[in-house]
Amino acid sequence: MSQTVDSFSFAKRIPATPSIGSTTVTKQDHVHLSFGFAAPHLFPIEQLSQSAAEAVTLHGRKALQYSGSVGPGQILKWIQARSQVHGIHVELDQILVTYGSTQGIDLATRILVEPGDHVWVESPSFFSALQAFRTAEAEITSFPIDEEGVRVDLIEHALLNAKQNGKPLPKFLYTMPTYHNPGGVTLSVERRKRLVQLAEIYNFFILEDDAYSELNFTGNRYPPLYTLFPERVIYLNTFSKIIAPGLRLGWIFADSNVIAKIKLLNLGGSIGVFTQEIVAKLLDGFAFQEHVDSLIDHYRQQRDVMANAVKNSFGEHVTFHLPEGGFYIWLRFADEVNTSDFLEDAANRGVSFVDGKSFYVNPEGFQYARLCFSYVSEDQIVRGVQSFADAYFAYINKAVS
Amino acid sequence: MSQTVDSFSFAKRIPATPSIGSTTVTKQDHVHLSFGFAAPHLFPIEQLSQSAAEAVTLHGRKALQYSGSVGPGQILKWIQARSQVHGIHVELDQILVTYGSTQGIDLATRILVEPGDHVWVESPSFFSALQAFRTAEAEITSFPIDEEGVRVDLIEHALLNAKQNGKPLPKFLYTMPTYHNPGGVTLSVERRKRLVQLAEIYNFFILEDDAYSELNFTGNRYPPLYTLFPERVIYLNTFSKIIAPGLRLGWIFADSNVIAKIKLLNLGGSIGVFTQEIVAKLLDGFAFQEHVDSLIDHYRQQRDVMANAVKNSFGEHVTFHLPEGGFYIWLRFADEVNTSDFLEDAANRGVSFVDGKSFYVNPEGFQYARLCFSYVSEDQIVRGVQSFADAYFAYINKAVS
């Protein structure tokens, strides 16, 4: 048959390229400072292996049917109880389990926006979220962050301006208030309070991505936006950073009416109940706080090793905010630097990072780079940061000469 | 705060109601003839329990990372090899693993249609698929089925008419050519050939849902539409009926360019790799053909028990097509019967079924009912069908009196 795929007009929502570029891995001992992955040696492997076998044996036939056995209910209750530690009090009908935060972002976007609707984001922001908003054919506007998180004053100004000039208001603002990816910053309490007031006044939702909340290196507590305005915040979290990403399990908190709407849209019915049975079995009797404490100790140490390595290898050539939690250090170079220009050379030298522009809606952020300290060893951090610095200095020396 | 969720304008795509109504279960020994579920006693529990433990132990840390270990690759190869038995020859870049067929339908719909685009379906059709098309804000047109599957002659007539009158052509046709849900019918070879010719001439895609293909009671073989026109058919299948639905694993076959587009849209990246590792481990060395043969033997016997029960309990009051495979018997009552009217009484008598109208886009199909023989025991089938008949006869006696 002669017909080719090219003659068909596909939906406009398909993005032209993946949300993030990748470089070719050329060396055996390549250091992946680009991967925002949890440390695999901290996955509770033995417990999961045992839980997997037990879940099937104990609840097997029901666990493998569409709606599962006891697991999905137990997970809801575990999430409910654990969230109280973070000051979040939710009823069971305010929780929905998802295939990781990514599905949470996608579902929330699909219930809130039509093509052409406006979504506001932080700049920088999480590239997979930006991709989700693009595929929803949303108009995206971004607002800068500083040391205290997103510039709520600029958001307020823009809202007022839009209102006064009859311009479209956002359907929602997507924010990572705590341990921002990639910025590493945390939204101040004062800004949190003002932000939810704005959501009320200007009638928009806040999509709060709290994926790193358990990885708190300092003990400082910030109220989740959801606790300040549960009617208008859709809160996202995930087991990816605290158990393991390969499970693809996350959750949403929202007003029960919003959860009901998402359920109507979520055609697959319940989320992989088999995995839920296994995770429920794991969590039952698992010393979770102890586990999280060991994650925190490990990642805090990794952060410190990376911060020192950056100081040693780059000196005054970069600045960064020391993150209070999470996985990332976000380096700022001089304004004339374009980190995309030495991505390839860094790869040739055996290290990967994510260039600044990948985190922006508009062509900007070229002078930034994201390094991730979670996935690699201390030794790799030191070696990787040095290779990265070698690529940078070769780049600026070439620019000068 | 006084703001309520009601003051916000949500996306139009959210359906008003679930895709299918449900009745209250009032009796302990309630017979679920409405559930299109696989028979749980045929799930390979022991093997899955062992595979789960082994997958974690052998590939643990990688298996739990985002992209997994060996499992996802092994599953692709298994699907590729198994499909050859059904005459389907695909390269690995023509396969995408999904969270069950439902995600496959959703992803295919999202790459093919914009709001307002036209989607053509069979009447009756699968309610979850109809819900997916509605949430994509597609305009849906339906074409009746008969004993040989969908009326391709009527589709051809409508295409010609649309072309001549400058009316919109469909972006795709959604069809279940083999062991139709709920109709139980199978599309003839002649119609298959004509249908793919039409897709070529009129430049549309075919979304072929082949979820029941392995459950072949007769040995008769029908060529999947995908084999007749791989460039323009997106083929969907699932492990739900052949291993277990709770795994939520399915797959798509399509042109490699189409697969690439879907991957760009599929923001969650790889599908629950942990589950894939477990299923890959299960399939490795699993006597799959033997397993499928036992499923076929069981479901064929169930079909026969149900067909006999229907004849015994209803006599001349219903007609149906004896399905060559799958899970369903689709009963046709006299035209003036409305099966929705005795749904509740049947529930009170301890039996559930799905009323005809749930499978239609327009208000029609009232005189049909879907019974599922897969989930229940032989004893339950006989008892359930009798209770269902009792509800029906009470209904017509009341109508007469």
Q: Please report the pLDDT score of residue A270 as a whole number.
A: 65
Return the higher-pLDDT residue of B18 and A40.
Answer: A40
Q: How far apart are the first and last CA of chain B?
A: 57
Interface of B with A in 321-340 (CB under 8 A): none
Please give the order of strands across the beta sheet that includes B139-146.
B95-98, B250-253, B233-238, B205-209, B172-175, B118-123, B139-146, B149-150
| Chains A, B: CB pairs < 8 Å | 236
Last residue of a domain, one of A266, A283, A300: A283
Q: Is residue A142 part of a domain?
A: yes
Best residue in B274, B291, B372 to probe A by mutation, most A CBs within 10 Å?
B274
Q: How far is Cα B174 from Cα B207, in angstroms, rounded to an integer?
A: 5
Q: Are A192 and A212 within one domain?
A: yes
Whether B128 contacts chain A with CB within 8 A: yes
Q: Which residue of A has its CA nearest to B229?
A: A1
Q: Is residue A12 part of a domain?
A: no
Residues of B in contact with A18 (CB under 8 A): 264
Q: Are A178 and A248 within one domain?
A: yes
Say which residues have a Cβ less than 8 Å from residue A248's Cβ, sequence separation at least 6.
A99, A100, A240, A272, A275, B268, B271, B272, B273, B274
Whether A126 contacts chain B with CB within 8 A: no
Domain of A365?
19-44+289-400
User: Which band of pLDDT confidence, cut at 50, 70 and 90, is reported for residue A24?
Assistant: low
Q: Is residue A8 part of a domain?
A: no
Whether residue A3 is predicted with pLDDT greater than 50 in this model: the reply is: no
DSSP state of A325: B
B50/chain A closest Cα distance in angstroms: 6
Residue B321's nearest CA partner among B309, B307, B308, B334 is B307
Interface of A with B in 221-240 (CB under 8 A): 229, 231-232, 240
Residue B249's nearest CA partner among B223, B213, B279 is B279
What average pLDDT does the segment A318-337 reach?
A: 98
Q: How far is Cα A126 from Cα A182, in angstroms, rounded to an integer?
A: 7
Verify whether the Cβ–Cβ distance A13 to B265 is below 8 Å: yes
Of A43, A240, A248, the CB nearest to B60: A43
Exposure of B267 in the CB half-sphere (CA atoms within 13 A): 26
Q: Quick check: A356 and A335 in contact, CB under 8 A?
A: no
Say which residues have a Cβ less than 8 Å from residue B247's Cβ, sequence separation at least 6.
A64, A272, A274, B239, B240, B275, B279
Q: Is residue B313 part of a domain?
A: yes
Name the residue with tokens 């800068």.
A144
Q: Are B275 and B358 within one domain?
A: no
Q: Quick check: A350 and A271 in contact, CB under 8 A?
A: no
Which amino acid makes up residue A272? G
Residue B119's nearest CA partner among B132, B128, B107 is B132
Three-class DSSP category at B172: strand
What is the residue-wise DSSP string for A73-105?
HHHHHHHHHHHHHTT----GGGEEEESHHHHHH
Q: Tell me the ipTM for this assembly.
A: 0.85
What average pLDDT does the segment A375-389 reach?
A: 96
Three-class DSSP category at B149: strand
pLDDT digits (tens, 9 = 90+) for B322-334: 999 999 999 999 9
Residues of A in contact with B50 (CB under 8 A): 53
Return the higher-pLDDT residue of A89 and A8.
Answer: A89
From the number of C-beta atoms within 10 Å of its C-beta (0-12, 13-18, 19+), residue B174 rates as buried
Output the domain CATH number for residue A296.
3.90.1150.10
Q: Is residue A99 part of a domain?
A: yes
Whether residue A26 is predicted with pLDDT greater than 60 in this model: the reply is: no
Q: Are A135 and A237 within one domain?
A: yes
Q: Which residue of B has its CA nearest to A273?
A: B246
How many domains does one find in chain B?
Answer: 2
Say which residues have a Cβ less than 8 Å from residue B216's Cβ, sequence separation at least 6.
B179, B296, B324, B325
Q: Is residue A6 part of a domain?
A: no
User: Which band of pLDDT confidence, cut at 50, 70 and 90, is reported for residue A123?
Assistant: very high
What average pLDDT does the segment A12-38 reach?
A: 74
Q: Are B266 and B299 within one domain?
A: no
A280/chain B closest Cα distance in angstroms: 15
Q: Which residue of B has its CA nearest to A14?
A: B265
Residues of A in contact with B111 (CB under 8 A): 10-11, 13-14
Residues of A in contact with B11 (CB under 8 A): 110-114, 117
Q: Are B242 and B310 within one domain?
A: no
Verify whether the Cβ–Cβ distance B247 to A64 is below 8 Å: yes
Of B131, B258, B267, the CB nearest to A102: B267
Q: What percent of chain B has pLDDT over 90?
A: 74
What average pLDDT does the segment A95-121 reach?
A: 93
Output the domain CATH number for residue A228.
3.40.640.10
Which amino acid makes up residue B270? S
Q: Please report the pLDDT score of residue A7 as a whole number.
A: 79
Q: How far is Cα A47 from Cα B101, in angstroms, rounded to an integer?
A: 31
Q: Are B179 and B243 within one domain?
A: yes
Q: Are A94 and A216 within one domain?
A: yes
Whether B242 contacts chain A with CB within 8 A: no
Whether B60 contacts chain A with CB within 8 A: yes
Q: Which residue of B has its CA nearest to A48?
A: B56
Q: What percent of chain A has pLDDT over 90?
A: 74
Three-class DSSP category at B244: coil
Whether residue A246 is predicted with pLDDT greater than 90 in this model: the reply is: no
Q: Please report the pLDDT score of residue B273 as a whole number.
A: 84
Q: In tens digits, what is the pLDDT along chain B, a chain of 401 residues? A: 444 456 788 888 887 766 665 555 556 688 999 988 888 889 888 888 888 888 888 877 787 887 778 888 999 999 999 999 999 999 999 999 999 898 999 999 999 999 999 999 999 999 989 989 998 999 999 999 999 999 999 999 999 999 999 999 999 999 999 999 999 999 999 999 999 999 999 999 999 999 999 999 999 999 999 999 999 999 999 999 999 888 889 999 999 999 999 988 865 556 788 889 989 999 998 999 999 999 999 999 999 999 999 999 999 999 999 999 999 999 999 999 999 999 999 999 999 999 999 999 999 999 999 999 999 999 999 999 999 999 999 999 987 76
Q: Are A352 and A256 within one domain?
A: no
Q: Which residue of B has its CA nearest to A199?
A: B3
Q: Please report the pLDDT score of residue B24 as a whole number.
A: 54
Q: Are B277 and B314 within one domain?
A: no
From the number of C-beta atoms within 10 Å of its C-beta (0-12, 13-18, 19+), residue B397 rates as exposed
Whether residue A23 is predicted with pLDDT greater than 80 in this model: the reply is: no
Q: Are A39 and A105 within one domain?
A: no
Q: Is residue B143 part of a domain?
A: yes
Mean pLDDT over the full length of chain A = 92
Residues of B in contact with A115 (CB under 8 A): 114-115
Whether residue A2 is predicted with pLDDT greater than 60 in this model: the reply is: no
Interface of A with B in 93-122 (CB under 8 A): 99-100, 102-103, 105-106, 110-115, 117
Q: Is residue A9 part of a domain?
A: no
**Stretch among A133-137, A233-237, B22-26, B284-288 having the lowest mean pLDDT:** B22-26
Last residue of a domain, one of A283, A301, A328: A283
pLDDT digits (tens, 9 = 90+) for B54-100: 888 887 778 788 777 888 899 999 999 999 999 999 999 999 999 98
Q: Are A267 and A358 within one domain?
A: no
Q: Cis link prior to A223 (omega < 30° from 0)?
A: no
Whether A11 contacts chain B with CB within 8 A: yes
A273/chain B closest Cα distance in angstroms: 5
From the number of C-beta atoms within 10 Å of its C-beta (0-12, 13-18, 19+), residue B147 rates as exposed
Residue A64's nearest CA partner among B240, B93, B115, B244 is B244
Last residue of a domain, one of B250, B283, B316: B283
